[in-house]
Amino acid sequence: MSDAIKVRFAPSPTGFLHVGNVRTALINWLYAHKTGGTFLLRIDDTDKERSEARFEDAIKEDLQWLGLTWDETMRQSDRFARYEEAKQELIANGRLYPCYETADELEVRRKLQVSRGKPPVYDRAALKLTDAEKAAFEAEGRTPHYRFLLNDEDVVWQDLIRGEVKFGGQFASDPVLIRADGVPLFTFSTVVDDHDTGITHVIRGEDHVSNSAVQVQIFEALGYNIPQFAHMALLVMKEGKLSKRSGGGDIRSLREKAVFPLAVNSLLAKMGTSDAIELAEDMASLAEAFDFGKMGRAAANYDEEELLRLNTKLLHDLPLSEVKDKLEIEIDEDFWQQVRANLHSLAEVKDWWELVHQPITPVIEDAEYGRIAAECLPEGEWNEQSWQEFTNAVKDKTGRKGKELFMPLRLALTARTDGPELPKVFTLLGREKARKRLLGEAA
How many other β-carbons are positioned within 10 Å of the β-carbon of residue 17?
23
Q: What is the mean pLDDT of residues 290-309?
A: 93
Q: What is the mean pLDDT of residues 58-71?
A: 97
CA angle 179, 184, 190 (to 5 degrees): 145
Question: Cα dist. 441→47, 355, 425 in Å?
Answer: 63, 15, 17
Percentage of the chain beyond pLDDT 90 is 74
Window from 237-241, 262-266, 399-403 with minimum mean pLDDT: 237-241
Q: Do domains 1-90+185-317 and 367-438 have the same CATH topology?
A: no
pLDDT band at 246 (very low <50, low <70, confident <90, very high): very low
Q: Residue 325: is its pLDDT beyond 90?
A: no
* pLDDT single digits (tens) 198-241: 999 999 999 999 999 999 999 999 999 999 999 999 998 866 55
Q: What is the mean pLDDT of residues 362-368?
A: 94
Contact 244, 18 (CB under 8 A): yes
Q: What is the CATH number of domain 367-438?
A: 1.10.10.350
Q: What is the pLDDT of residue 169?
A: 67
Integer Cα distance of 348 and 368 in angstroms: 32
Integer Cα distance of 131 and 20 in angstroms: 47
The number of residues making up the chain comes to 443
Percentage of the chain beyond pLDDT 70 is 96
CA angle 217, 221, 197 (to 5 degrees): 85
Eight-state DSSP code of residue 70: -
Q: What is the pLDDT of residue 170?
A: 66
Integer Cα distance of 246 and 224 in angstroms: 37
Q: What is the pLDDT of residue 321?
A: 92
pLDDT band at 389 (very low <50, low <70, confident <90, very high): very high
Question: Which alpha helices (H) appear in 366-402, and where do they start and end?
Answer: 367-375, 386-398
Eight-state DSSP code of residue 148: E
* pLDDT single digits (tens) 67-108: 999 999 999 999 999 999 999 999 999 999 999 999 999 999
Sorted by where each begins, the domain ranges of the chain are: 1-90+185-317, 318-357, 367-438
How many other β-carbons are positioned within 10 Å of the β-carbon of residue 354?
12
Statement: 1-90+185-317 belongs to CATH 3.40.50.620: yes
This prediction has a pTM of 0.85
How distant is the alpha carbon of residue 412 from its chain centre?
A: 42
